[in-house]
Amino acid sequence: LIPLESGTLYSLEDVKAKIQRSLELLDALGFGGGEPTLQPEALEELALWAKEKGLKVFIETNGTRPEVLRKLLNSKLLSYVAIDVKAPLRNGDYGVASGKPSMAPEVIRSVQESLRLCASTQVPYEARTTIVPGLTDKEESISAISEELAPLDPVYVLQQFIPSPEVPSPQLREGAPISRKVLLKLARKARQKGISKVFIRTREYGLEGIDKDGSG
């Protein structure tokens, strides 16, 4: 509804007006990245307004603001949560993935808290990992993430990395997308580590559930 690249500051009333114009066509309102929990007051007000309009509300978050997520969940404003797990929850890996090595321990604690928080509620949620070449495309990485996630029993989605002009790394920007074959192999590993609800998402085939034998 509001292009992130616009560089324009919008009031909440502007946002509500844009949503209102399409309200008859909507059944849900989603908040995504950037990181929506960095504006908690606006997020809470818009979520409450959307619920009052009869819309379901979902959020896509990096999990670094569990206190914001907790307030939204306790207020029963969310119908679905997706948490981005960028890499194995270890200092070295998450430092590289986040680009902020010195903050990795704090970020990891926050992501873990957000995951536990979602697991403790009745609100459906998913953990998702974008499979990035050289970062999360190895079985060891997905094994480590899956071992952490399995006790929480989330839906786990492995997403295809798609090169684009917005990607900071020239090597990644000019590379090829991760193949469906690689995603299936990694999803099989996640199933082996005890996660029962594993999906892959690709540009070609969309969202696919993974059977116990690791097939789509």
Dihedral angle sign, alpha carbons of residues 66, 106, 103, 112? negative
15 is a domain residue: no
* CA dihedral sign, ordered 47, 48, 53, 56: positive
Is 145 within 8 Å of 88 (Cβ atoms)?
Answer: yes
> What gap in Å lies between CA 91 and CA 201, rounded to an integer?
27
The total number of structural domains in the chain stands at: 1
Q: Is residue 13 part of a domain?
A: no
Q: Tell me if 104 is assigned to some domain.
A: yes
Asked if residue 102 belongs to a domain, the reply is: yes
Reduce the DSSP state of residue 89 to 3 states and report it.
Answer: coil
Closest CA to 128 of 112, 145, 147, 141: 145
> Where in the sequence is the domain holding 122, given as residue range(s)?
27-209
Q: Using one digit for the tens of pLDDT, what is the confidence trace for 101-144?
A: 999 999 999 999 999 999 999 999 999 999 999 999 999 999 99
Regions of the chain short of the pLDDT cut 70 = 1-7, 165-174, 213-216
Q: Among 135, 132, 201, 206, which Cα is nearest to 173's?
A: 132
